[in-house]
Amino acid sequence: MNGVHDMGGMDGFGKVEIEPNEPVFHSRWEARTMALVRAMGAAGAFNIDTSRFYREALPPHVYLSSSYYKKWLLGLEDLLVDKGYVAPEEVEKGHALKPTKAPPRGTFRRDDVERILVRGTFSRAPQAPAKFKPGDRVRCKNIHPATHTRLPRYVRGHVGVVELNHGSQVFPDSAAIGAGDDPQWLYTVVFTSAELWGADADPTVKISIDAFEPYLEHA
């Protein structure tokens, strides 16, 4: 979706400022939110692409004015209600009030924590041979899916060169909407700055994205 989350190349957000000695969390609710999202994801309530889609789908003014973990919480609430794991009145009251669908993998327990500290693999058996190889010139398609995609706007329509092939992996555009893994080949595609930002761009800069095969065509 063409949301405000897709920020690459936007102007006006100001200087980057690093907070010295930044704590891991700025308050306990941030820590609880992070843990709840990880736990419910691991319990099978949603995959990572769906959780990203729900944060992107927050209204633009909410997305831009909310802190990082506030976005996580708002996305989590919406997701759990939409998928039928909790009822809206339960979120409001802070208590379980009625039977609802349980997450597919059951209760997330203390013993399950160790396994989520290392990411699982996103590799999947390919559905077809790879269409592109390192060195190929490719154009990112001019596509504008209304749902989740990982093709940022700033590269659409632009030509780059395939640099790496990362194998066949879960296709986020499909997984985010519950349509299955639909594995696709994943490539690192590198662009010159002039290709993306025009003739005045800094010629010493190159930018790459990781692009799934359905985003690309031969150039």
Are the C-beta atoms of residues 62 and 91 closer than 8 Å to each other? no
State whether residue 188 is helix, strand or coil.
strand
**Smaller CB distance to another protein: residue 152 or 217?**
152
Between 91 and 159, CB nearer to another protein: 91
Taking phi over 0 as left and psi of -120 to 50 as alpha, with beta for the rest, 36 belongs to alpha
Residue 108 CB, nearest distance to another protein (Å)? 5
CB of 114 to another protein, least distance (A): 8
Nearest-CA neighbor of 134 among 165, 160, 159? 165
CA atoms of 178 and 186, how far apart (whole Å) = 20
Nearer to another protein by Cβ, of 42 and 136: the residue is 42
Rounded to an integer, what distance in angstroms lies between the CA atom of residue 162 and that of residue 140?
11
Name which of 81, 60, 82 is nearest 71 in CA terms.
60
Q: Note the residue count of the chain.
A: 219
The minimum distance between CB 58 and another protein, in angstroms, equals 12
Cβ at position 93, least distance to another protein in Å: 7
Kindly tell me which of 90 and 136 has the beta carbon lying closer to another protein: 90
Residue (104 or 135) nearer to another protein, CB: 104
Q: What does the alpha-carbon distance between residue 49 and residue 47 come to, in Å, rounded to a whole number?
A: 6
Minimum CB separation of residue 118 from another protein in Å reads 5
